[in-house]
């Protein structure tokens, strides 16, 4: 045949698949960009001299040139899309009732945060931080950060971002800690969950949004709520599992000697001793929630992320930089609060 693809034609002929290829005929569908360019120039898209150096990898597109029965890569992607869209209605019937409470929770929290007077909201936040950290320095940092954001007229956006982060982080902890406890007690369940956690922690952030956009309306808060929870839940699960597994076996044997039940050991010994590790996971969950809430502004999540998106879309450099600085301030504030709370817990557990 004189072209690089001829080696694949010879290979298909040698294994006796030529009749199968001829019966299927050429693949129907639009031409690729390379084929369109070649056609416009009056040449062939496969006009490559046969040589080992220039031999293309036997991908779907290359094999399709030798055998029309083999689908092209665009047929594969179209098939995946058709499969997902075919299952979408059935998935919505199951997922909509399960996830609707998340929309109600986010709407209620956002409404409460925005309707509370600024002076009362800032006072409540500072009181909460004082109770969690017992540190006047951290409270001062939080107060200065919120007052600065209010001074530059970013208070409403910052409070929206904080409300979403804390709601999703709390739900991640409520879901993640029981999963981590179960993993620590059942090795088979742990072997099943670990690959899923690895997948969640390696997927790019935008990939989380692709299936959710097709499943839920962009006007529903649960769309970005699910994305934030799924993205940020892995650290608290892992650290809970690790913390409980690191509990000294001698302590557990002493508890058995005193006749403590499994539930008593869990709540009186294992969870208190694993609390520093759990809090370290909570810190990471909060920070991941903050990073995802900015990406979630692409799917109508309110807050500072919308200003960053506006700065990008409209090329408003100042808007984007100021909003980005506000996100950095919130990140530092949340990190200092969670680390101060973790340090306090560690001091409380020192012998």
Task: Supply the CATH number for residue 170's domain.
Answer: 1.10.3720.10
Enter the DSSP assignment of 268.
I
66 plus 91 within the same structural domain: no
Residues in contact with 72: Cβ distance below 8 Å, sequence separation at least 6, in sequence order: 27, 29, 32, 60, 61, 64
pLDDT of residue 136: 92
Residues in contact with 152: Cβ distance below 8 Å, sequence separation at least 6, in sequence order: 322, 326
Question: Is 304 within the bounds of a domain?
Answer: yes
* Closest alpha carbon to 281 in 177, 155, 145: 177
Query: Of 71, 94, 113, which one is at a domain's C-terminal end?
Result: 71
pLDDT of residue 61: 80
pLDDT of residue 33: 52
Higher-confidence residue of 280 and 348: namely 280
303: helix, coil or strand?
coil
Residue whose structure tokens are 């360019």: 37
85 plus 62 within the same structural domain: no
pLDDT-derived band at 194, boundaries 50, 70, 90:
very high
Query: Of 31, 53, 71, which one is at a domain's C-terminal end?
Result: 71
**Helix H or strand E segment including 286:** helix 271-295
The mean pLDDT value of the chain amounts to 84
pLDDT of residue 255: 83
pTM of the model: 0.81
Other CB atoms within 10 Å distance of the CB of residue 317? 10
Dist CA 280 CA 346 (whole Å): 10
Number of compact structural domains in the chain? 2
132 plus 266 within the same structural domain: yes
Q: Does 2 score more than 50 pLDDT?
A: no
- The mean pLDDT value for 60-71 works out to 79
Q: Does 214 score more than 50 pLDDT?
A: yes
Dist CA 221 CA 229 (whole Å): 12
Question: Tens digits of per-residue pLDDT, 309-321?
Answer: 899 888 888 999 9
116 plus 217 within the same structural domain: yes
Q: Does 8 score more than 90 pLDDT?
A: no
112 plus 243 within the same structural domain: yes
Q: Does 245 score more than 70 pLDDT?
A: yes
* Closest alpha carbon to 251 in 237, 272, 279: 272
190 plus 254 within the same structural domain: yes
- The mean pLDDT value for 276-284 works out to 90
Residue 315 burial (10 A CB sphere; 0-12, 13-18, 19+): exposed
pLDDT-derived band at 5, boundaries 50, 70, 90:
low
CA 291 from centroid of its chain's CA atoms: 10
Enter the DSSP assignment of 297.
G
Question: Is 1 within the bounds of a domain?
Answer: no
pLDDT of residue 3: 57
49: helix, coil or strand?
strand
pLDDT-derived band at 92, boundaries 50, 70, 90:
confident
Query: Of 50, 71, 92, which one is at a domain's C-terminal end?
Result: 71
Q: Does 119 score more than 70 pLDDT?
A: yes
Lookup: tokens for 286? 């909060």
Question: Is 86 within the bounds of a domain?
Answer: yes
Q: What is the span of the domain harbouring residue 162?
A: 80-348
Question: Is 200 within the bounds of a domain?
Answer: yes
Question: Tens digits of per-residue pLDDT, 10-41?
Answer: 777 777 777 778 776 544 555 555 555 555 65
pLDDT of residue 35: 56
């Amino acid at each position: 045949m004189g072209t690089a693809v001829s080696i694949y034609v010879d290979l298909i002929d040698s294994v006796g698949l030529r009749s199968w290829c001829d019966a299927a005929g050429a693949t129907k569908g639009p031409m690729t960009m390379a084929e369109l360019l070649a056609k416009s120039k009056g040449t062939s898209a496969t006009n490559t001299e046969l040589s080992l150096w220039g031999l293309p990898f036997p991908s779907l597109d290359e094999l399709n040139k030798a055998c029309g029965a083999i689908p092209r890569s665009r047929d594969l992607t179209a098939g995946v899309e058709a499969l997902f869209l075919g299952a979408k209605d059935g998935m919505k019937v199951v997922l909509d009732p399960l996830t609707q409470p998340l929309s109600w929770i986010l709407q209620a929290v956002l409404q409460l945060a925005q309707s509370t007077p600024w002076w009362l909201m800032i006072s409540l936040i500072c009181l909460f931080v004082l109770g969690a950290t017992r540190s006047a320095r951290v409270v001062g940092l939080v107060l200065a950060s919120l007052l600065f954001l209010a001074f530059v007229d970013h208070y409403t956006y910052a409070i929206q971002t904080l409300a979403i982060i804390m709601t999703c982080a709390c739900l991640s902890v409520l879901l993640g800690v029981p999963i981590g406890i179960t993993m620590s007690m059942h090795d088979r369940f742990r072997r099943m969950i670990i690959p899923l956690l690895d997948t969640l922690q390696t997927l790019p952030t935008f990939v989380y949004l692709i299936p959710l956009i097709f499943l839920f309306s962009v006007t529903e808060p649960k769309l970005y709520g699910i994305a934030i929870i799924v993205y940020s839940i892995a650290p608290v699960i892992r650290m809970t599992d690790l913390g409980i597994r690191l509990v000294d076996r001698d302590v557990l044997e002493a508890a058995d000697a005193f006749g403590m039940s499994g539930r008593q050991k869990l709540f009186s010994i294992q969870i208190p001793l694993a609390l520093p590790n759990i809090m370290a996971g909570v810190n990471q969950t909060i920070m991941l929630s903050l990073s995802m809430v900015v990406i979630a502004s692409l799917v109508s999540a309110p807050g500072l992320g919308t200003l960053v998106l506006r700065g990008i879309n409209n090329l408003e450099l100042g808007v984007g930089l100021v909003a980005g600085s506000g996100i950095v301030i919130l990140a530092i504030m949340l990190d200092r609060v969670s680390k101060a709370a973790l340090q306090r817990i560690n001091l409380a557990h020192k012998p």
